[in-house]
Structure 1
């Protein structure tokens, strides 16, 4: 249940009064308090979304720098020191920024987004340190995935120590990036290993991360309450990556090259739609059984995505484009009508 701040204060006073009168036990009061959350105000939501935009812009800035060779050369010319010295300098700066964020969090625990913004700056500095370390140790092998794995380890340890969702999110993102890069390196970027392409490997790895999150939640959470902070994020990330890999498999099948994929008809790929369709059904069932909205939303969303993907694949070249968009619009109307009916039933 969500209440505004004033109602939450009144409820806490009532619960404390009932505990004093021995009408409730302390355990029952704590359980009731945990079931109530404070509604986010407009300014709080603005702070959250502005922080998300900060993270996205920072990531895009890094990608833009990495794709611009001239800018990289300019940055290298700005510093006359060796790559190892630059790496050490950025590492020290990252440690100082993370320490500053930790101290700020201790002084102002309610300033969550300001603290996480400092941690995000630390993420960028760690990435720069890791990149210069790769420059210093480069042997010409092109095995860059080792650097990604080291960055993932640093982000994960820092996230656990500092209880930072931002650092943990980048640890997860770097982990999946490392896996894709490692598959590319092992296959000379053909992305087809042991008869399976990158989409199958990515789905399997995502399933492994998802299962590992549940194992850790079962065995580590009772002994380390700090890990509870990261289980929902790890579960959601693993689930989204798993279904994204299955969707890629539904579109491209298990072909080892784009040329081989283009040479076949989409009707020959129908069997690769089954893993995503079955997984979506299982996710909706698990979500209903465990009362987990994440599973239900992901399962329903990717099932709808699969339906529309098949619609584009099988119908686009068969009928006139005007009729295609008419049918597409009607399908969205039917989906909206169906969702509205379910929503109205739940309101009763």
Structure 2
């Protein structure tokens, strides 16, 4: 449990959470905690799934798992060291009511931070007062809303941009396509008009501290959990931005000072991007993102004229083939390549 302090090599290469800025910033803010490497740092992960494997069933179960980051990276995320702290069985997702289920866990974490627990170290053959802290949560984007209290829907869906989220209304959806603002100033893609027909001159959004977030949360009315016949859904005021509640994690005294509170797990992001890319390149019906609606959006934005729908003499419309759409022969070669890929465990 002291690997992160005694055996980790700190050479500015990110191999372990202890190499990141969030961990180091936490040590600076809580030096008394960092002085004892035996104190435990946890990550908290949650996601809902259907335990019966039937997609048509509305039943859902949500485990809340914590894992210790004191261990080396090849151990801390493995099954023997992951601890199931909660199991939330419901017919549907708990939504913002997840705080009700998290109450016992948060109360325990508050005691472990403030008072600690008298613990035996088998390696050193001694007792010590162990304190525990949760550094961040790991979840997909819908669960981000449940845990953080920031709605991931609408014009202000981006929790990083906060009230400075530059979204755009297209024909059938809200689009978040202003990601070039995160590029360095002077980057060649900032000057390109291929993305939305405009040059991007804005800088990246301002980083908001926990104190600034709490100032925003002061405008939110006290949250009533659960459903009630007299409880009516109301529209949020402009001062509330996209906040739906004050997260229960802010009851942890160190939470507002954390540099990184919520992480999006790589698995969901990689899978979704891969599905969309393959569906578009292979032109799979129902899965491709290159459809009539997308072509009309390009026409509205006045970009990529070669992909605009072309009206034929008989009144129908022709959708030109895009350069990224594979032909029948190219699809065969691509599928043969995937079939030939070998994995260490012979399974994929």
TM category, shorter: under 0.3
Higher helix proportion:
1
Q: Which has the higher contact order (CA 8 A, sep 6+)?
A: 2
> TM-score, normalised on structure 1?
0.25
| TM-score, normalisation: structure 2 | 0.25
Structure in which a larger fraction of residues adopt strand = 2
